[in-house]
Structure 1
Amino acid sequence: MAIEEIPRVKQWLSQFDAALPDQYLASYLLKKMRFVPFQEVEEWLQKSVEGLIEDIEKKEGKKAPIAIFPVAKPFINKFNAEKEKKSANDSAGRISHALKNLERRLPKHVELTPRDDSMRARKVKHIIYVDDFIGTGDRFIKSWRNMVSARIKSWCSRGWCKIWVLSFAAHKTGLNNIANQIRPIEKSRLMANLVVEKSFLAENKELVRLADSYGCKLKKYDARFGYGKLLSPIIFQHGCPNNVPAIFWSSGKRGWTPLFPERSVPSELYTLFSFDMTAETTAEELWMVGHYDLAVSIVNQIEQYGGDHQLVMILGFLEKKKDIERIRNVLVLTTKEMFEKLDNLRHHGLIDSGNKVTHFGVEILRRGKKNTELKQDNDDAYNYFYPASFLGFQREV
């Protein structure tokens, strides 16, 4: 089933002007977002936390005491002047729940949300904060300033404790903001699985226009580009960040119905988190980098291709000499995912060690174009004609 057939998606798309390319652009935008399922976050959390603990132990040469806190909850809640109240870590929040599940198999020198007194007695040297998403970094900074005890800050300022931050996804501007605002946190200890250098939305004038022009219909007009104007392309199954354009999550002054009301994710949209939508955006991506023949051909032939559509996109981007980091941002891939796909292309001889498209790779792209050519008179050859725009997207100049 196409995602446009999901009733809630169909209703959301119907709110865009069909006379303009807006309805098509909204569908394209939805398919281009990175939808992160529950399982992916929990698998990342377990592997990254355990991996970091192993790295710390190797550097220390021993099992140094470690404390772990979820960022989404207050780190330390003071009950009164003499006693602290330990934060609950059961079902309150996906990160807290996943950490609680992980705690059962963590080594004894690692403790989840310990009290200050416990940390002092054990002489904790490493504190790990875990989050699912860092946008502008403001939430983490406020939590650090308002919720972390003065005692912990003192330990960090004196160099007794090292602070580590793990996040599934983060915008680079947010990571820089945290590093600049919180002195004890070094950039090298700010680690994210998926780093957004610059959102692909921000680089596409038509998508920016779409978010802007429909912003007047929303109660959260100031968030039409997302909080911090990040135009974030990442949506989690456990919730939609407010850095995502508000057309996705804000209700309207004039009856606008969002796809993710108040940033919640209705169960009927869970399909989005298990649906491979790359096949449906391949033609548009190739058109926008100048592969016009291939893009037009793919519109009719892409359903016959059963392989990895992102490999076709990457090959087309590289042939047009696009920067690796730009490609990664456009496809919203982690660095690891990008390297794996480049290795795949390299393994099949489509690119060389310097990521340059080989003669074989160029031939593969050429063969992907329509095999049927216009019959031409010997005396008067036809010139190919390509429209200025294609499915709502301008030709690259």
Structure 2
Amino acid sequence: MQRKSFISTELAKGWLSQFSCQDQTQAESLLNSIRHISVEKVTRELKFLIGEILQNQKGVVGLYAEREIRKTRGSVHKIFKETQTKVKRAIGSGPKAIDPIFRYKQDVGSEGVVANIITQICKTKRSRVITHPGPDKIRKQKVRHLIIVTDFIGSGTRICDYLDAFWKVKSIRSWNSLKAVKFHVVAYSATQIGSETVRRHKAKPEIYIGEPCPTIWTVFSDIKERKSIIDLCNKYAPNKETINDGFFSRPKYDPLGYRGIGALMSFSYGVPNNVPEILFRASPKWQPIFKSRVIDYSITPLLERNSQLDIEKALIKLRENNIQTFIKKNDLPDHSPRLIVFLAAANRYRFWNEISEQTGLTVSEIHELHQEAISNKFINEKYILTDFGKQQLDFMRTQHGALAKQLDNNVPIYYVPKQLRALNGV
């Protein structure tokens, strides 16, 4: 019995039925390209990334859950209180992890998920990690690293606002210039433009990303296909309202999402506002599939299954069709195909973000597979395949039948005939 797919659900069919017959193929492609992330995966990845900072940096760290900051006339408020003396000095406690900016709007967004992750980390790393420390605690505990944690960076605007709130505090600027404190930003995922925007901030934060966010520009590499998807988003945009900024009129809501990012990622607890409008914004004539940026609980398992590592798709993207044929025709241990995908990607790309973008593997998964590949002498510390690793790939590319011998489940990859081994001393 074939498992039900997300695209075959009544919800997806209802959404697709709003498009004309000639546009439904593009709409289905858009829907299929959304990468859905579970809260468990976000938790695992953020813990791994923060753990990497703790391992590589000395001293106590402060963790802050990124959230929306209050503003007055477009200018963000300071994150800490200051004395009213001539020489201003930061004082008091830190910011609240969850603090809605409007009293009438008590919605808790992704900051609730992130705040819970921070609490879990603080419970296990009490001697080194403090949650949302204020100036008094930063001085007393000698906090040396301020880590802002979020699940997603779209345009980078909200993270920059949060950094601005720190940067407006004179003591923070002073500590930073003296190298007494350093800023870090940790996110499960980020778009390229979002990462670059945050990286250019005056605070000069170091950025740690679990996996690059797929966008219309990265997923649809074919120019004609990409244009058809963008045209689709413009044609069916739910809100056609425009505003005039004094020079020309423009849409009030960008059809590709906030700041025109065109992100293609959703989370089990919500959808970013950077995804195309046709996916989440409703109108009298349009019913979105993720209404109010909320995921229908009934389709969450199907979305997660749809977003699992697709071995076939990843290898085709890497132009390794022969290796894909090899995997199909041979009974390999369950974990082997993931390692094969990693090795095939590492053979072409050197950096983790490139490997992640091409395969869908996260940085923690890449790290785990990298260590396994090193232990089996397929690759070195610098992500360069060894001769033995290259021989493994070459063997799979040239084989189109069953393996010469059945492998034990403890053997991670394959039997390689002796005549394919490199000569001693080579």
TM-score (norm 2): 0.65
What is the rounded CA distance, in whole Å, between the counterparts of 1:129 and 1:177 in structure 2? Answer: 15
Summarize the alignment of residues 228-243 of structure 1 with structure 2, pairs less than 5 Å apart: 228-243=259-274
Partner of 1:67: 62
2:187–2:209: 8 Å Cα contact kept in structure 1?
yes
Partner of 2:411: none
**Aligned amino acid, residue 262 of structure 2:** L
What is the rounded CA distance, in whole Å, between the counterparts of 1:309 and 1:16 in structure 2? Answer: 37
**Aligned amino acid, residue 9 of structure 2:** I
What is the rounded CA distance, in whole Å, between the counterparts of 1:361 and 1:294 in structure 2? Answer: 5
2:261–2:275: 8 Å Cα contact kept in structure 1?
yes
For residue 305 of structure 2, give the secondary structure of its aligned residue in structure 1: coil
**Aligned amino acid, residue 279 of structure 2:** F
**Aligned amino acid, residue 269 of structure 1:** I
2:356–2:363: 8 Å Cα contact kept in structure 1?
yes
2:187–2:210: 8 Å Cα contact kept in structure 1?
yes
1:3–1:9: 8 Å Cα contact kept in structure 2?
yes
Summarize the alignment of residues 346-385 of structure 1 with structure 2, pairs less than 5 Å apart: 353=386, 358-364=393-399, 366=400
Partner of 1:12: 15
Distance 1:88 1:327, change over 3 A: closer
2:45–2:364: 8 Å Cα contact kept in structure 1?
no
Which runs of 5 or more structure 2 residues have no equivalent in the other structure? 70-77, 85-89, 99-107, 240-250, 379-383, 403-426
Deviation of the 1:113 alpha carbon:
0.9
Deviation of the 1:333 alpha carbon:
2.9
Summarize the alignment of residues 236-315 of structure 1 with structure 2, pairs less than 5 Å apart: 236-252=267-283, 255-276=285-306, 282=312, 286=316
For residue 275 of structure 1, give the secondary structure of its aligned residue in structure 2: helix
Deviation of the 1:289 alpha carbon:
7.7
2:233–2:256: 8 Å Cα contact kept in structure 1?
no
Distance 1:247 1:317, change over 3 A: farther
Q: Deviations over 1:21-53 (max 9, x none)?
A: x43343343333221101111122233323422
2:93–2:137: 8 Å Cα contact kept in structure 1?
no
Distance 1:93 1:339, change over 3 A: closer
For residue 124 of structure 2, give the secondary structure of its aligned residue in structure 1: coil
1:226–1:244: 8 Å Cα contact kept in structure 2?
yes
Distance 1:208 1:348, change over 3 A: farther
What is the rounded CA distance, in whole Å, between the counterparts of 2:125 and 2:373 in structure 1? Answer: 38
Distance 1:341 1:110, change over 3 A: closer
Q: Give the CA RMSD over aligned residues.
A: 4.3
What is the rounded CA distance, in whole Å, between the counterparts of 1:279 and 1:23 in structure 2? Answer: 25
**Aligned amino acid, residue 124 of structure 1:** V
For residue 271 of structure 1, give the secondary structure of its aligned residue in structure 2: helix
- Alignment counterpart, residue 122 of structure 2, candidates 92, 99, 103: 103
Distance 1:89 1:45, change over 3 A: same
1:37–1:273: 8 Å Cα contact kept in structure 2?
no
- Alignment counterpart, residue 135 of structure 2, candidates 105, 116, 121: 116
Partner of 2:243: none
For residue 93 of structure 1, give the secondary structure of its aligned residue in structure 2: helix
- Alignment counterpart, residue 155 of structure 2, candidates 136, 154, 159: 136
Query: Given the alignment of the two structures, is residue 180 of structure 1 paired with residue 200 of structure 2, yes or no?
Result: yes
| Equivalenced residues, count | 348
**Aligned amino acid, residue 132 of structure 1:** D
Distance 1:272 1:158, change over 3 A: farther
Summarize the alignment of residues 311-326 of structure 1 with structure 2, pairs less than 5 Å apart: none
Which runs of 5 or more structure 1 residues have no equivalent in the other structure? 58-63, 369-397
Query: Given the alignment of the two structures, is residue 155 of structure 1 paired with residue 175 of structure 2, yes or no?
Result: yes
**Aligned amino acid, residue 118 of structure 1:** K
Distance 1:9 1:79, change over 3 A: farther
Query: Given the alignment of the two structures, is residue 48 of structure 1 paired with residue 64 of structure 2, yes or no?
Result: no
**Aligned amino acid, residue 213 of structure 1:** L
Distance 1:89 1:143, change over 3 A: closer
What is the rounded CA distance, in whole Å, between the counterparts of 1:339 and 1:67 in structure 2? Answer: 25
For residue 166 of structure 1, give the secondary structure of its aligned residue in structure 2: strand
Identify the range of structure 1 (196-205 vs 67-76) with the bigger mean alpha-carbon deviation.
Answer: 196-205
Identify the range of structure 1 (127-136 vs 143-152) with the bigger mean alpha-carbon deviation.
Answer: 143-152
- Alignment counterpart, residue 212 of structure 1, candidates 231, 244, 254: 231
Query: Given the alignment of the two structures, is residue 332 of structure 1 paired with residue 360 of structure 2, yes or no?
Result: yes
**Aligned amino acid, residue 361 of structure 2:** L
1:224–1:245: 8 Å Cα contact kept in structure 2?
yes
Partner of 1:387: none
For residue 218 of structure 2, give the secondary structure of its aligned residue in structure 1: coil
Distance 1:283 1:51, change over 3 A: closer
For residue 148 of structure 2, give the secondary structure of its aligned residue in structure 1: strand
Query: Given the alignment of the two structures, is residue 76 of structure 1 paired with residue 79 of structure 2, yes or no?
Result: yes
2:268–2:295: 8 Å Cα contact kept in structure 1?
yes
